[in-house]
Structure 1
């Protein structure tokens, strides 16, 4: 298993269905390491799939270390975005909810 996939699997284990209760969204992650994953959230459930989604709600580009730092709470997601460590396209405000949906 790739290190990138391991991070996403860990995120799935921390999924907070209450935070995502009324959400219907697809988070596309394009990793600088060349891997692509998307998280689909609907009806209080979350599913991880490899590859690129046809119509993501928000697309986030970053490297593995940035993903790890943001999801562990070591780096604030908005700060990472402002520093250019995360590039986002689509519903950027939705991306700010990632650490609430997947608390560390």
Structure 2
């Protein structure tokens, strides 16, 4: 496989990314996500979300979701906004709208969720994911995306 870095991520598909997350030790992911590559990796993951969105599963869902990824330099967090409306999904790293759901998690947990390597419900139940707002939406958000299986 390849090393866990933004250049590798940009050149592989979702399934390969899922395998990379699964095969990389959490400590190594945490180290990379605390460094200079963090924003490139988060941007790459979030930029792929609209292409993995399953409009047929969303139906007439309208939602604004804020993803708060902790563990940045100096204890900072990054917030990304996913907007689902009119059968489409858009993403920005400059949240502007009031969220229907806000989920907070560390970068390792986030990457496990988006790569299909972590059970979002279990991670919520064990406190790894904190959700505020529409918990029914939180329980179903994974179904709205074609999450690869490693």
**TM-score normalised by L of structure 2:** 0.65
Equivalent of residue 50 in structure 2, options 12, 25, 49: 12
Q: Offset of 1:90 from its aligned partner?
A: 0.3
Stretches of structure 2 that go unaligned for 5 or more consecutive residues are 1-38
Q: Secondary structure at the match of 1:55?
A: coil
Q: Which residue of 1 aligns with 2:114?
A: 71
Tell me which residue corresponds to 1:51: 94
Query: How many residues are paired up?
Result: 104
Tell me which of 64, 72, 80 is aligned to 2:123.
80
Deviations 1:17-38 (A, max 9, x none): 1111210000111110321110
Contact 1:28 1:59 in 2 (8 A): yes
Instruction: Describe the SS at the equivalent of 1:38.
Output: strand
- How far does residue 58 in structure 1 lie from its aligned partner after superposition? 0.3
**2:58 aligns to what SS in structure 1?**
coil
Identify the structure with the greater strand proportion. Answer: 1
Matched, 1:39 2:77: no
- 2:68, 2:79 within 8 Å by CA — same for their partners in 1? yes
Gaps of 5+ in 1: none
CA distance in 1, matches of 2:95, 2:69: 11
Superposed structure 1 runs of 4+ greater than 2 Å apart: 51-54
Q: 2:62 aligns with which of 24, 35, 41?
A: 24
> What TM-score do the two structures reach when normalised by structure 1?
0.90
Distance in 1 between residues matched to 2:49 and 2:89, nearest whole Å: 10
